[in-house]
């Protein structure tokens, strides 16, 4: 199976090589990137009050930077002991690249890249249970962040005229609010004491893990039987793009405008210079919450490692 992982990963690399060749033959007209801070491991349990955005604007000279972003599948090397990058928070690269050349050819190339990513994701999914998948991937591709390796590239419609970027707060799914009970949590911790998760076994000394899991079990055992527990989800703001494009309506016999939108994980691609572009601005939590206030039930963090909260009675 590891060989299949290697083969499907190679397919992604080959498809990206084809895209790079296309961009060499058909130089970029313009590129706007909205650079976000690199998330650190210490950021994983909290939401930032501000997210500064640095705009990078240029042309064909930025093609190597664009391809570097498209090939960014791994966590960066830490600059120091206290500067370890997060492997849980997906790094996003909002932006828009305006390409010359055929829209149909570009769309076909991006389709090949995304098909290769699908094949790689399917190969990972076919490897047993989550622990086995973790070991198979990271023994072959150390420090790979699979969400970054498998996320799609996107081409906007050929007649896109207006593009704007903004921040969006994800909406929690129903499963995000599923509650645990004390007994289920104790069973989970007892199982992990006997069979440490692969990522834990790779990162922590056995004695350190034994002490940590015993402390977690003791915390849960001290709770009353009717304690209310739940998984805590840190819902982070994500960059979103909105676009307007023109299309011919055969029934009306005229050109009409349609709209699209979506999260932006990687720089978008288009073959038409937009008539209007609104870039991504820095995020300010205080201003955003004043504009869109939402009641949030507060809970006390019980087990930070698992993101489990104790809900007040």
Could you tell me if 105 and 247 lie in one domain? yes
Q: Give the per-residue pLDDT at 176.
A: 45
For 135-182, how does the pLDDT look when each residue is reduced to its tens digit (9 = 90+)?
999 899 998 999 999 999 999 999 999 999 999 876 554 444 456 788
38-42, 43-47, 127-131: least confidently modelled range = 43-47
Confidence of residue 112 (pLDDT cuts 50, 70, 90): very high
Confidence of residue 80 (pLDDT cuts 50, 70, 90): low
Could you tell me if 212 and 288 lie in one domain? no
Q: What residues does 247 pair with on adjacent strands?
A: 256
Query: Which residue in 307, 12, 41, 5 sits closest to 135, CA to CA?
Result: 5
Within 8 A by CB and 6+ apart from 268, the residues are 95, 96, 97, 154, 155, 156, 163, 241
Instruction: Decide: 267 and 33 in contact? Cβ < 8 Å.
Output: yes
What token pair was written down for 215? 């402390």
Q: Tell me which of 250 and 281 has the higher pLDDT.
A: 281
Query: Which residue in 83, 99, 79, 3 sits closest to 43, CA to CA?
Result: 83
Q: Domain span at residue 202?
A: 182-226
Q: Is residue 265 part of a domain?
A: yes
Mean pLDDT for the stretch of residues 19-36? 95
Could you tell me if 75 and 210 lie in one domain? no
Q: Is residue 129 part of a domain?
A: yes
Q: Give the per-residue pLDDT at 146.
A: 92
Within 8 A by CB and 6+ apart from 18, the residues are 109, 112
Whether residue 300 is predicted with pLDDT greater than 90 in this model: the reply is no
Query: What distance in Å separates the CA atoms of residue 49 and residue 45, rounded to the nearest whole number?
Result: 13
Query: What distance in Å separates the CA atoms of residue 197 and residue 189, rounded to the nearest whole number?
Result: 11
Confidence of residue 30 (pLDDT cuts 50, 70, 90): very high
Could you tell me if 68 and 33 lie in one domain? yes
Could you tell me if 36 and 91 lie in one domain? yes
Ranked by mean pLDDT, the top range of 7-16, 181-190, 252-261 is 7-16
Could you tell me if 243 and 187 lie in one domain? no
20-34, 35-49, 78-92, 273-287: least confidently modelled range = 78-92
Could you tell me if 76 and 20 lie in one domain? yes
Q: Give the per-residue pLDDT at 293.
A: 55
- Inter-axis angle of helices 130-140 and 2-25, nearest 10: 60
Mean pLDDT for the stretch of residues 252-278? 92
Q: Give the per-residue pLDDT at 302.
A: 83
Q: Give the per-residue pLDDT at 104.
A: 95
2-6, 167-171, 274-278, 293-297: least confidently modelled range = 293-297
10-14, 68-72, 235-239: least confidently modelled range = 235-239
List the helix and strand counts (H, then E) for the chain: 9, 14
Whether residue 265 is predicted with pLDDT greater than 60 in this model: the reply is yes
Mean pLDDT for the stretch of residues 12-32? 96
pTM for this structure?
A: 0.77
- Number of domains within the chain: 2
Whether residue 41 is predicted with pLDDT greater than 90 in this model: the reply is no
Q: Is residue 102 part of a domain?
A: yes
Whether residue 312 is predicted with pLDDT greater than 90 in this model: the reply is no
Could you tell me if 115 and 62 lie in one domain? yes
Whether residue 19 is predicted with pLDDT greater than 90 in this model: the reply is yes
Longest dimension (CA), the chain: 74
């Amino acid at each position: 199976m590891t060989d299949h992982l290697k083969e499907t990963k190679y397919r992604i690399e080959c498809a990206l090589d084809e895209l790079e060749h296309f961009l060499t033959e058909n130089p970029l007209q313009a590129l706007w990137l909205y650079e976000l801070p690199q998330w650190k491991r210490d950021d994983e349990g909290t939401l930032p009050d501000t997210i500064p955005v640095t705009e990078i604007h240029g042309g064909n000279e930025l093609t190597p930077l664009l391809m570097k972003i498209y090939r960014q599948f791994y966590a960066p090397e830490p600059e120091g002991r206290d500067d370890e990058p997060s492997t849980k928070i997906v790094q996003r690269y909002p932006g828009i690249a305006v390409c010359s050349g055929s829209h149909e050819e570009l769309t076909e190339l991006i389709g090949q890249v995304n098909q290769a990513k699908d094949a790689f994701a399917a190969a990972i999914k076919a490897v047993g249970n989550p622990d086995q998948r973790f070991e198979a991937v990271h023994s072959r591709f150390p420090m790979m962040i699979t969400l970054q390796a498998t996320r799609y590239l996107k081409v906007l419609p050929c007649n896109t005229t207006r593009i704007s970027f903004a921040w969006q707060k994800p909406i929690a799914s129903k499963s995000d609010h599923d509650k645990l009970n004390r007994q289920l949590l104790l069973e989970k911790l007892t199982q992990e004491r006997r069979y440490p998760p692969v990522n834990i076994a790779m990162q922590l000394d056995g004695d350190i893990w034994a002490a940590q899991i015993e402390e977690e079990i003791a915390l849960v055992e001290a709770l009353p039987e009717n304690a209310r527990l739940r998984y805590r989800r840190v819902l982070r703001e994500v960059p979103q793009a909105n676009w307007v494009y023109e299309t011919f309506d055969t029934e009306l016999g005229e050109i009409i405008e349609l709209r699209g939108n979506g999260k932006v994980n990687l720089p978008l691609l288009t073959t038409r210079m937009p008539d209007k572009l609104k870039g991504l601005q820095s995020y300010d939590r205080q201003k955003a919450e004043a504009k869109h206030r939402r009641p949030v039930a507060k809970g006390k963090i019980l087990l930070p490692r698992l993101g489990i909260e104790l809900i007040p009675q």
